[in-house]
């Protein structure tokens, strides 16, 4: 199986030893604690699950600035975005503290942190990092708005993760750690695995894109890997998305070719940089390939349609990742050919030759109980989404 990023073995930060974890939970109640923000909590969950291997905790300011600027730490470890714990709370360097979960009622302990450094972050440094990560400082960009509001004190140091927040309880059939995904890939006997990233339900174009990638690459299976954390307003909730994807796979994919899983992270909407982060943690999951399509992890008009592909050619150093990218074009149903194709493979087509619907148009149809054409969305998937949108109006 493909090696994890940056080490020979995956090193998840979750304390799997039950006795040790319970002892740490008891200790945490005696420690000073801070309520972290959702971004820091999501980073802890990802560190706990091995997704951010080989990191041992939150980055210090020098590493965060270096990663933002050059996509590597001061010591040269390739990493595409800073993994930080920024706060406005008062913390002492050298202390051992409990990190409390902002997303679970009662704010239980999420992790214990040994605080190696407490560093003030200037507005200029925040802006520098935000511009490098998101390629914009526009406050209307949801990722920029979140990042610039996280706090001006950066806490760095190793953590021991004691909980996977709400993800295991809310998504018991879907949430998986990188450790669990690696184990399942091994149990399947799969060697070559392509990952498909999604924060949305999957329509016919997405479904066929997965098939195309599996056939073109000759993979043993596909990992459909959905984000389960916080999204921007208007995005479809994870439980609805999960149900629609499961129905599609159940009806339209051969048995034992698809793993449906999810991960506990808040969407960054960082376009190219987030695509590279997706590649890092899919390698940690054991995948050999990642589908990167048009406007991957983008939002609005902040990124060019294929910037998330070109960053791998232009900015990711050769050999930095073992995982390879499957570059996809926009896919749609061709009326001429009677099947879904990548637009680049149909140069003789005009836009009118494809079944193309905007997200707004689809939402309006579903909200009125009108199913999109079957060339666009499977009727069984459309029914789940229609029920959801109609429930919003009640």
Reduced to 3 states (helix: H, G, I; strand: E, B; else coil), residue 85 is strand
Distance CA 228, CA 209 (A): 22
Strands 324-327 and 289-292, by their bridges, are parallel
Closest by CA position to 197, among listed 274, 254, 270: 274
* Planar angle of CA 283, 284, 288, nearest 5 degrees: 25
Angle at which helix 379-392 crosses helix 359-367, to 10 degrees, equals: 80
Contact between 339 and 303 (Cβ < 8 Å): no
Strands 109-114 and 153-161, by their bridges, are antiparallel
Strand partners, 98: 33, 112
Q: Which of 365-370's residues contact partners 24+ apart within 8 Å by CB, and which partners?
A: 366/390, 367/392, 367/393
Instruction: Give the tokens for residue 5.
Output: 């990023």
Reduced to 3 states (helix: H, G, I; strand: E, B; else coil), residue 144 is helix
List Cβ neighbours of 297 (8 Å cut-off, separation of 6 or more). Answer: 197, 267, 268, 269, 270, 271, 272, 274, 275, 278, 308
| Catalytic sites, residue numbers | 199-200
């Amino acid at each position: 199986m493909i090696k994890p990023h940056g080490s020979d073995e995956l090193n998840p930060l979750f304390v799997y030893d039950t006795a040790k974890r319970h002892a740490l939970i008891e200790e945490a109640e005696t420690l000073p604690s801070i309520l972290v923000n959702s971004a820091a909590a999501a980073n802890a969950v990802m560190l706990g699950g091995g997704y951010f291997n080989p990191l041992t905790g939150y980055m210090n300011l020098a590493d965060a600035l270096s990663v933002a600027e050059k996509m590597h730490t001061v010591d040269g470890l390739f990493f595409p975005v800073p993994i930080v714990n920024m706060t406005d709370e008062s913390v002492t360097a050298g202390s051992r503290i409990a990190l409390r979960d902002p997303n679970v009622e009662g704010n239980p302990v999420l992790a214990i942190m040994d605080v190696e450094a407490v560093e003030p972050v200037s507005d200029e440094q925040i802006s520098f990092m935000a511009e490098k990560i998101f390629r914009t400082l526009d406050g209307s960009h949801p990722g920029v708005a979140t990042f610039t509001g996280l706090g001006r004190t950066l806490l760095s140091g190793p953590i021991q993760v004691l909980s996977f927040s709400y993800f295991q309880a809310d998504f018991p059939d879907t949430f998986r750690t990188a450790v669990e995904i690696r184990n399942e890939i091994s149990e399947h006997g799969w060697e070559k695995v392509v990952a498909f990233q999604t924060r949305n339900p999957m329509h016919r174009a997405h479904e066929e894109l997965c098939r195309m990638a599996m056939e073109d690459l000759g993979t043993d299976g596909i990992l459909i890997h959905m984000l389960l954390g916080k999204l921007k307003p208007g995005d479809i909730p994870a439980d609805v998305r999960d149900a629609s994807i499961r129905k599609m796979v159940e009806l339209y994919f051969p048995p034992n070719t698809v793993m449906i899983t999810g991960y506990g992270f808040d969407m960054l909407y960082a376009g190219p940089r987030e695509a590279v982060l997706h590649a890092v943690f899919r390698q940690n999951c054991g995948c050999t390939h990642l589908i990167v399509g048009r406007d991957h992890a983008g939002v609005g008009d902040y990124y060019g349609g294929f910037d998330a592909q070109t960053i791998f050619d232009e900015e990711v150093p050769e050999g930095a990742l073992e995982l390879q990218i499957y570059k996809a074009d926009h896919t749609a149903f061709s009326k001429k050919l009677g099947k879904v194709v990548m637009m680049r493979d149909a140069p003789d087509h005009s836009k009118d030759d494809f079944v193309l619907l905007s997200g707004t148009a689809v939402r309006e149809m579903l909200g009125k109980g009108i199913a999109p054409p079957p060339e666009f969305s499977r009727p069984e998937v459309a029914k789940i989404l229609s029920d959801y949108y109609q429930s919003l109006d009640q």
